[in-house]
Amino acid sequence: MLSRSVKSSLKRTSSVLKQSNVIKQSNVTKQSFKILNVQISRSLHLNNTNTPRFQLNTPLSFKRFGSTTVKVPDMAESITEGTLSAFNKEVGDYVEQDETIATIETDKIDVEVNAPVAGTIKEFLVDVEATVEVGQDLAIIEEGGEPAKGAATKAESKPKTEEQPEKKEEAKSESKKEESKPETKKEEKKPEPKKEQPKKETKQESTPSFTNFYRNEERVKMNRMRLRIAERLKESQNTAASLTTFNEVDMSNLMNMRKQYKDEFLEKTGIKLGFMGAFSKAACLAAKDIPAVNASIENNDTLVFRDYTDISIAVATPKGLVTPIVRNAESRSILGIEKEIASLGKKARDGKLTLEDMTGGTFTISNGGVFGSLYGTPIINMPQTAVLGLHGVKERPVTVNGQIVSRPMMYVALTYDHRVLDGREAVTFLKTIKELIEDPRKMLLLE
């Protein structure tokens, strides 16, 4: 007979053997892993050495769901905020890297916001016309490639097919309503007396009216650039001791020279020969004799004189008047000045001017004649000392060698700060410009 301890030990060994046989029979056990929304199926093989070995039944596929936040870029040293004027894209649109997605308007320039990565716009974090600061979050872009067009068309077609039965049900319900309406109208018309029409007429007659014309009003908020222009112009009027002197210029010789050479230079250089280049060059030459025209007041007690001339050219844009600068105009030829003016004018109209294009300036020329202006007094562009105003060319009778003849004449105006420039110097400066324009050959002889 066996003891109880021996019997119990035999039972335990038999149970262990049974479990090992079960493990050997099930050589493979399958497990599922879920990693980042990707279902992965793996097979687990158990060898006699009890070391697991993994075999991949399905290929791994990972999807990136990273998102990038678009922030307000640095605009300039003196600009810390602006107004979000427009979003160039919409939510759901795909954008390439460095593609423009928004435009921010400042008091000086328009700043474009470019996409830092390629992807799909998921959300706009700021409303249009809101004030934004440098570094503020604007939008969220989900990184990735452009979505397939086929998937988009399928997604669009599904809601359309779903909407069709709804439209049919709506049409049926509307037709039922229309059928029920005439019955109610017939029932209502019988008891109703015919006194509604005169009531309406009395209401129209009783409404008071001051006039038969429309008198609507519309209030539009001023943009930042317009506010800044208004501030600068008012500052000029309140600060400078402004005085304006006038003269008239015979444009015959300059117009004949332009007519004779404009086509030739247009073919060779692609530059249109106008009046601004000649007047800019004449102003630079005249400023060498009257250096105070090119000076400015600093700290209310110091005069700054310069040996260079940076001419600010006034350009009208839809958002307001801007003054891009022709650097070192004194060292350029007439054609070189014309080329730079054309380039700056195009950038101004396209809204592509940078802060560097408008920073500085020692003298301003404003040509109101392109809009038909005959006469006017320009306002000084602070902190400059003077501004030259050009006007329209008109045929007028003038006396030449004792005879009255018709000549193309232009009125020119020079507004100057009397704190810096005396009357004698201002008149001399404007008279020198007049003489150089009436005989452009003199500009070749002066240095």
Active site residues: 418, 422
Evaluate whether 224 touches 82 at the Cβ level (below 8 Å): yes
Say if residues 340 and 271 touch (Cβ distance below 8 Å): no
**Per-residue exposure over 30-49, b if at least 16 CB sit within 10 Å of its own CB, e if not:** eeeeeeeeeebeeeeeeeee
- Give one word for 395, left, alpha or beta, with left for phi > 0 and alpha for psi -120 to 50: beta
Instruction: Dig out the tokens for 102 from the structure.
Output: 């928004």
CA dihedral 313, 316, 318, 323 (to 10 degrees): 20
Nearest to 241 by CA among 385, 387, 362, 427: 385
The DSSP 8-state label assigned to residue 107 in this structure reads: S
How are beta strands 315-317 and 311-313 bridged, if at all?
unpaired
Judged by DSSP in three states, 148 sits in coil
Report the distance separating Cα 283 and Cα 286, nearest Å: 5
DSSP calls for 56-77? ESS--------EEEEEPPP-BT
Four-CA torsion 196, 197, 200, 206, nearest 10 degrees:
-120
In angstroms, the Cα distances linking 265 to 155, 258, 270, 329 are 58, 10, 7, 20
Measure the CA–CA gap between 33 and 58, rounded to whole angstroms.
12
> Cα–Cα distance between 360 and 120 in angstroms, integer?
41
Residue length of the chain:
447
**C-alpha distances in Å from residue 82, one per residue of 105, 116, 133, 439:** 6, 20, 7, 48
